[in-house]
Amino acid sequence: MPEVYLGLGSNIEPRLEYLKKAAEKLRDEKNINLEKTSSVYLTKPYGNLEQEDFLNAVILIKTPLNPEELLKKVLEIERKLGRVRAIEWGPRKIDIDILFYDKLYYQSQKLQIPHPEIKNRAFVMIPLLELIEEEELLLEGKDIHFWLEKLEIDEDEVKLYSEFPDLS
């Protein structure tokens, strides 16, 4: 089954609970196996900076769903958890992004894989590196370490917050 890395983010309280609920809803889907979770990181907002800090994590799933089917499922879970898309890069209860789908390069009107912003987002790359082997996933022929080193990030931009909540 394809391995898929998903980015999770929330900056509306209870942030950690929204991450947990998103992972639980994904795990409870019959066509999705939750394999691994990263730690949770406290991160500064990206884009629209006048909002609360985020909690971010990355999870690894296996699924027979194709990218469009998975996107539909992810958007449905976001909606069930109260996601409202009012402001681009605005506050959100939950955000679930498809980062990588195996080593597939895919583009449609609704979806681009790998996610086009990974290389600009330390809050995605740092938790992703907890789950992958070195040089396992490449962006434009370069590994995640390469892109992370290109970013000049402040110490307080991405901080370890906690382990991922228990899902048992």
Handedness of CA 108, 112, 116, 122 (dihedral sign): positive
Give the alpha-carbon dihedral of 82, 23, 11, 128, to 10 degrees: -140
Handedness of CA 37, 155, 42, 117 (dihedral sign): negative
CB 35 within 8 A of CB 62: yes
Q: Catalytic residue positions?
A: 83, 92, 95, 97
At 72, list the tokens: 């539909």
Alpha-carbon distance 115 to 140, whole Å? 12
